[in-house]
């Protein structure tokens, strides 16, 4: 088949909601876009282990400690599926790590905020995982098969984490005045960064049009953000917490919430690598990788020796 015929066949599959599989022909730009998006997603899972990992040794009860560990373990698992999905596009995990460590590849800007109190574990589960789910559920139907299948499993676990996070917030909000204040403070700090997770406004989003065509995206950033606000405000009210937005109000006509303007200077500052924890997070990842080098070398050398032993035994 000629390139044109291949392209036509590819377009036809996408239009018919057929999955593109690793061995299928795909345009180079499709492959590159998917490597970028899937790897960013994988990196986000891995970097995302750090802000929550920060509270494992200090969790306030054994039950919460176990739940937090299980959650962080799930995230590592998500990272693993996503790197595997990405590798089906012909890139190695080592190359992807190099891109992360060199700063060439991005990860979700939300993980550049510090977790300063226990309530942040609740806010992250409720808001951050909540925003992630809104982004990710449509991806279960995206055109690239391995990514779509990874997302089915990821979304199931994320929904569970979100409920767990909300439950932490609810417990705090119903607790002592100190606990309620701790929950409100966490909501105040995580609200806007969570809205920012849904990306720049439609006018500034460079990949939206192409991503819509490939079904990597079904709704625009602004539509997703509206959905997040509409879903989250009643949850905050339910547990007696206040959304830190003086412009937030119910709109009778649209039957949706109107909300205030985001601080886009802050958004771009964090995205460009100058948020509160960008350096700390990257240093932690690079450190783990470089300190682990002798361990990975040992595993490799051992595997080679074992293989040699097997060969000589035969």
Which residues here bind another protein, judged by CB under 8 A? Answer: 46, 49-50, 53, 56-66, 69-70, 72-73, 76-77, 79-80, 83, 118, 168, 171-172, 175-176, 178-179, 284, 287-289, 291-302, 305
> What are the φ/ψ torsions at residue 26 (nearest 5 degrees)?
-150, 150
Residue number with CB closer to another protein (174 or 254): 174
Q: Compare residues 36 and 65 and give the one whose CB is closer to another protein.
A: 65
Q: Are 190 and 127 within 8 A, CB to CB?
A: yes
Nearer to another protein, 34 or 43 (CB): 43
In whole angstroms, the minimum distance from the beta carbon of 246 to another protein comes to 30
Judged by beta carbon, residue 23 or residue 63, the one nearer another protein is 63
CA-nearest of 216, 215, 118, 223 to 171 is 118
Q: How far is the CB of 59 from another protein (least distance, A)?
A: 7
CB of 160 to another protein, least distance (A): 15
Residue 66 corresponds to which tokens in the numbers above? 């176990």
* CB of residue 37 to another protein, shortest distance in Å: 19
Shortest approach of another protein to residue 88 CB, angstroms?
17
Nearer to another protein, 212 or 300 (CB): 300
Least distance from another protein to the Cβ atom of residue 304, Å: 10
| Pick 168 or 195: Cβ nearer another protein | 168
């Amino acid at each position: 088949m000629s390139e044109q015929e291949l392209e036509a066949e590819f377009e036809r599959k996408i239009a018919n909601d057929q999955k593109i599989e690793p061995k299928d022909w795909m345009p180079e730009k499709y492959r590159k876009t998917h490597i970028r998006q899937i790897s960013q997603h994988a990196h986000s899972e891995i970097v995302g282990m750090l802000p929550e990992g920060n509270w494992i040794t200090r969790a306030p009860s054994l039950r919460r400690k176990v739940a937090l560990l299980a959650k962080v373990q799930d995230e590592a698992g998500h990272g693993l599926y996503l790197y595997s999905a990405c590798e089906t596009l012909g890139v190695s995990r080592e190359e992807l790590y190099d891109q992360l460590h060199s700063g060439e590849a991005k990860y979700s800007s939300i993980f550049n905020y510090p977790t300063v109190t226990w309530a942040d574990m609740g806010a992250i589960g409720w808001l951050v995982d909540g925003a992630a789910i809104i982004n990710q559920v449509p991806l279960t139907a995206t055109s690239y098969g391995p990514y779509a299948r990874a997302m089915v499993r990821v979304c199931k676990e994320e929904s569970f984490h979100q409920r767990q996070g909300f439950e932490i917030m609810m417990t705090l909000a119903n607790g002592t005045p100190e606990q309620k204040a701790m929950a409100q403070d966490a909501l105040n700090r995580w609200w806007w960064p969570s809205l920012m997770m849904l990306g720049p406004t439609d006018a500034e989003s460079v990949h939206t049009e192409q991503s819509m065509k490939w079904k990597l995206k079904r709704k625009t950033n602004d539509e997703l953000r509206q959905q997040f606000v509409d879903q989250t405000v009643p949850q905050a009210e339910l547990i007696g917490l206040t959304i830190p937005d003086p412009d937030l109000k119910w709109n009778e006509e649209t039957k949706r919430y109107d909300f205030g303007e985001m601080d886009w200077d802050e958004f771009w500052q964090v995205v460009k690598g100058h948020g509160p924890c960008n350096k700390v997070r990257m240093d932690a990842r690079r450190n783990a990788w470089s300190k682990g080098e002798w361990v990975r070398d040992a595993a490799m050398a051992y595997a080679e020796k074992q293989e040699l032993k097997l060969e000589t035994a035969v």
